[in-house]
Amino acid sequence: MGVLPEVPAAIPPSGGPGPVVPRRGRAAGALGAAFLAALRYAAGQASALRGAGAAVVLAGMSPILRRLRTAMPAEFLAALVLGLVFAVVLVLDQKYWWQLKPEYMFGWLVPFFVAFVVMDRWPKILAALRPTGESPLPAAARRFAALGFGVAMTLGALFFLLGALYRAGAGVTQPGSLAMAIGFAGLLLGMLYFNAPAGRLGEGPVPTGWAAIRADARLMLVAQFVFPALIWMISAPLVDAVENQLSLFLLRKVVTVVSFSFNTLGYPLVQEGSTLLLPNDQRVGVEDACSGIRSLTACLFTGTFLAAVFLDRWWKKILLIGAALVLAVVTNLMRSVFLTAWAYHYGSDSIGGEFHDATGYAVLGLTFVGLLCLLPLFNTENWVRWLTPKGEKPAAAAEDGAAGTEKK
């Protein structure tokens, strides 16, 4: 393309008037200048308001931030705050399912239980942030741990990103919510591990073996956040294919067990699919709600929370969660047998509506009480006391008494 030649401007004679500007042009220029001045004033006022608001917020948060900053390293505090932001995103995403599906209604308790567990473990968290020496783990073990948490954080970021993109494109979906929950677990644990100071816990000789793992500051710090990281995968719904297959499997087992129990006890009934045919042309249909999927998810959440709060060993936690699942299945079978027996004597119409729902809530309450009754069984001191013959002191108490006598 060519360049247009410049056109020399008309230069007025010396001392003569300048170029004439039309009246409309002068008015438009004045209006534009006034508009720009108004914009600058509005932007200045908005900036001042934002600055005042930020100053108020920072003034209120500054004592808390200063306290946290003095209690932990800045990089760990940043990772903790970022994890809190991700947790808020999960709450905003999963609340749709907590409102829609009754079996996930317990999700409303998850944020409060997570906050309770973190506050309950706060002294242990602060202790892990103040290591007393070099980590007792071998160099190979430390590299392996770093590799594992690095892979977990990378996969977590990928899962969370895919879930977020899926949600942005298709709205709230079960795969998207589950992917974000899985991604959050990997992200949180990885970020906390790499931003925590390395070292060991406690004093004395350098531990080895499993004791070295329990003395590593980073691993013990991450262990305090396992429940807050993984619990969101329970409050997020399973994929439809998995949930439907699990519900169908439990439904078939419930119908089979009820039919077998009544025929064995001499109360004849006929099983047709998920329907039980009683005498006098009475029918009891076992619906999806009776499969036990609701009590299973609720008991899984309850058992996980109780294990996180009251038990200290991993094998105890796993046993209690397994006991919660078994208890949920057993109590749901008891409920189905009771409802069928009630329908056998009073008709199938007598077990509908509020009566049916009341038995479901009663089963949940019974399961919760059962889990509380199981907790003392995981305390070693209780077993020592129970197995010690009457009139004899437990071994630990006898040793303490002997030590006290020697000191005197």
Domain boundary, last residue among 235, 253, 278: 235
Question: Considering the domain boundaries, does residue 15 fall inside one?
Answer: no
Total count of domains within the chain: 2
Same domain, 216 and 245: no
**CA-to-CA distance for 185 and 178, rounded, in angstroms?**
11
Looking at the domain assignment, is residue 22 inside a domain? no
Beta bridge partners of 277: 270, 283
Q: Under DSSP, is residue 272 helix (H, G, I), strand (E, B) or coil? A: strand
Q: How far apart are CA 130 and CA 221, in angstroms?
A: 11
- The dihedral built from the CA positions of residue 185, 188, 192 and 193, taken in this order, carries a sign that is positive
User: To which residue do tokens 């242990």 refer?
Assistant: 124
Within-domain flag for 46:
no
What does DSSP say about strands 282-285 and 275-278: parallel, antiparallel, or unpaired? antiparallel
What string of DSSP letters covers 106-168? GGGGHHHHHHHHHHHTHHHHHHHTS--BS-SS-HHHHHHHHHHHHHHHHHHHHHHHHHHHHHH
Confirm whether 115 is domain-assigned. Answer: yes
DSSP per position, 187-223: HHHHHHHHHSPP-B-SSSSPP-THHHHHHBHHHHHHH
Q: Which of 333, 345, 339, 338 is nearest to 279 (CA)?
A: 345
Do 251 and 286 meet the contact criterion of CB atoms below 8 Å apart? yes
230 and 250 within one domain: no
* Same domain as 365, residue 221: no
**Based on the domain organization, do 114 and 219 belong to the same domain?**
yes
**pLDDT (0 to 100) of residue 230:** 94
Q: Are residues 267 and 355 in the same domain?
A: yes
pLDDT given for residue 8 in this prediction: 45
Residue 63 has a pLDDT of 67
* 64 lies in some domain: no
SS3 276: strand
For the chain, the 3-state helix, strand and coil shares in percent, each to the nearest 5, are 75, 5, 20
Cα–chain center distance at 396: 39
With tokens 């393309």, the residue in question is 1
149 and 195 together in one domain: yes
Per-residue model confidence (pLDDT) at position 182: 95
Range of the domain at 279: 240-387
Same domain, 230 and 325: no
Same domain as 262, residue 136: no
In this structure, the answer to whether residues 212 and 278 fall within a common structural domain is no
Among candidate residues 211, 235, 259, the one where a domain is terminated: 235
Do 147 and 290 fall within a single domain? no
In a domain, 92, yes or no: yes
Tens digit of each residue's pLDDT (9 = 90 or more) over 32-62: 454 444 445 444 544 443 444 444 433 445 5
- pLDDT tens for the 408 residues of the chain, in order: 444 444 444 444 444 444 444 444 454 444 445 444 444 544 454 444 344 444 443 344 556 666 666 777 888 988 999 999 999 999 999 999 999 888 888 899 999 999 999 999 999 999 899 888 888 899 999 999 999 999 999 999 999 999 999 888 888 888 899 999 999 999 999 999 999 998 888 777 777 778 888 889 999 999 999 999 999 999 988 776 677 788 888 888 888 888 888 888 888 888 877 778 887 777 777 765 567 777 888 888 999 999 998 988 888 999 999 999 999 889 888 888 888 888 888 887 888 778 877 888 888 888 888 888 888 888 777 777 777 776 666 554 444 444 444 444
Determine the Cα–Cα distance for residues 193 and 142; give it in Å rounded to an integer.
Answer: 11
328-385 residue pLDDT tens: 889 888 888 888 888 888 887 888 778 877 888 888 888 888 888 888 888 777 777 7
Cβ-based neighbours of 114, under 8 Å, separated by 6 or more: 87, 227, 228, 231
Task: Kindly state whether residues 94 and 190 are assigned to the same domain.
Answer: yes
For residue 123, being part of any structural domain is answered with yes
Helix, strand or coil, per DSSP, at residue 317: helix
User: What spatial distance separates the first Cα and last Cα of the chain, rounded to whole Å?
Assistant: 107
The verdict on residue 151 lying in a domain is yes
Contacts of 292 (CB under 8 A, 6+ apart): 250, 254, 328, 329, 332, 333
Contact in structure between 325 and 295 (CB atoms under 8 Å): no
112: left (phi over 0), alpha (psi -120 to 50) or beta: alpha
**Domain shared by 86 and 215, yes or no:** yes
- Yes or no: say if 271 and 261 are a contact pair by the CB < 8 Å rule: no
Q: Return the half-sphere exposure (C-beta side, CA atoms, 13 A cut-off) of residue 111.
A: 16
Q: Which of 195, 215, 235 is the last residue of a domain?
A: 235
Given a contact cutoff of 8 angstroms between Cβ atoms, the answer to whether 371 and 292 are in contact is no
